[in-house]
Structure 1
Amino acid sequence: MIRPAALLFALLLPAHAALAQDWALDGIDPVGYSREGAAVPGRPDLVTMWRGKAWHFASEENRADFEANPKVFAPALGGLCVVALSEGRSEPGNPRYFAVIDQRTYLLRSESARQRLMADPQQILARAKTVWAKMHP
């Protein structure tokens, strides 16, 4: 016999998992990268939908700033790892590894990739942007 509570849990679990998959940046506040210089966790109750994803924010001010101009705060180059992209590979960046360069946020796959970017940011960004332009003509 299936208990009602177990059935309810089984029915809700897939919905919750689907919702979590739609979280942009794993719930990290995109405004926090530039404002705090850190990967700041967003609050589950401060959410805005943009481009099919739920973007979470640490404060109402951050949410309002994002809503006014999301392209300023969303990671550049589609959130791909800028170092991998500069090498011709399309790999997702990890929202916990980032760099803010010229007021744009770039995601990276690891701390070592962040260190590589910071050692030669202009060269790596130039190559990554060239690859990105070929991928998105």
Structure 2
Amino acid sequence: MIRPILASLFLFLPANATMAEDWALDGMDPVSYGMENAAVPGRNDLVTVWRGQAWHFASEHNRNLFEANPKAYAPGLGGLCVVALSEGRSEPGNPRYFVVIGQRTYLVRSERARERLLADPQGILMRAKAVWVRLNP
């Protein structure tokens, strides 16, 4: 009799009570990439749930910007490593390594991949986008 009662309690947890593995960008503030050109850790008390993940922010201002237009601040190409995509591989990017091209943030898997992307941003991005389109018809 106690088990059904305990199980039902979990149905009423607040939406922002997420596990660490549900954190977008490992808790990095997505707005800080473009605004500060830095991977800035977000705060645990400044969270927005978007697309099933908890997005953390370093300031209320950044959270407001994100909430007004989340697609503008979410990393391009689904957060996959742009360099790996350009080579035909689908690998997650590391939220601590990024490059802002135009108004868009792209993740890469390492500092070496970041340097490669900076050496040929348009060529690598064009190849990565072509692979992305094939993977996401």
Residue in structure 2 matched with residue 90 of structure 1 by the alignment: 90
Residue in structure 1 matched with residue 34 of structure 2 by the alignment: 34
| Cα drift, residue 121 of structure 1 | 0.4
| Cα drift, residue 85 of structure 1 | 0.2
- Name the amino acid aligned to 2:135: M
| Cα drift, residue 61 of structure 1 | 0.4
Residue in structure 1 matched with residue 66 of structure 2 by the alignment: 66
- Name the amino acid aligned to 1:40: V
Aligned residue pairs: how many?
Answer: 120
| Inter-partner Cα distance in structure 1 for 2:22 and 2:77 | 19
| Cα drift, residue 128 of structure 1 | 0.2
Residue in structure 2 matched with residue 123 of structure 1 by the alignment: 123
| Inter-partner Cα distance in structure 2 for 1:123 and 1:99 | 14
Alignment of 1:2-13 (within 5 A): none
Q: CA RMSD in A?
A: 0.7
| Cα drift, residue 63 of structure 1 | 0.2
| Inter-partner Cα distance in structure 2 for 1:122 and 1:93 | 18
Which runs of 5 or more residues in structure 1 are unaligned? Answer: 1-17
Which runs of 5 or more residues in structure 2 are unaligned? Answer: 1-17
| Inter-partner Cα distance in structure 2 for 1:136 and 1:102 | 23
1:30-85 CA-partner distances (Å, limit 9, x unpaired): 00000010000000000000000000000000000000000000000000000000
- Name the amino acid aligned to 2:117: L
| Inter-partner Cα distance in structure 1 for 2:35 and 2:20 | 25
| Cα drift, residue 124 of structure 1 | 0.2
| TM-score, structure 1 as length reference | 0.87
Structure 1 residue matching 2:41: 3-state secondary structure = coil
- Name the amino acid aligned to 2:100: V
- Name the amino acid aligned to 1:39: A
Structure 1 residue matching 2:105: 3-state secondary structure = strand
1:86-127 CA-partner distances (Å, limit 9, x unpaired): 000000000000000011000000000000000000000000
Q: After TM superposition, which residue ranges in structure 1, 4 or more long, deviate above 2 angstroms? A: none
- Name the amino acid aligned to 1:109: R
Structure 2 residue matching 1:48: 3-state secondary structure = strand
Residue in structure 1 matched with residue 132 of structure 2 by the alignment: 132
Q: Could you tell me the percent identity over the aligned residues? A: 75
| TM-score, structure 2 as length reference | 0.87
Residue in structure 2 matched with residue 21 of structure 1 by the alignment: 21
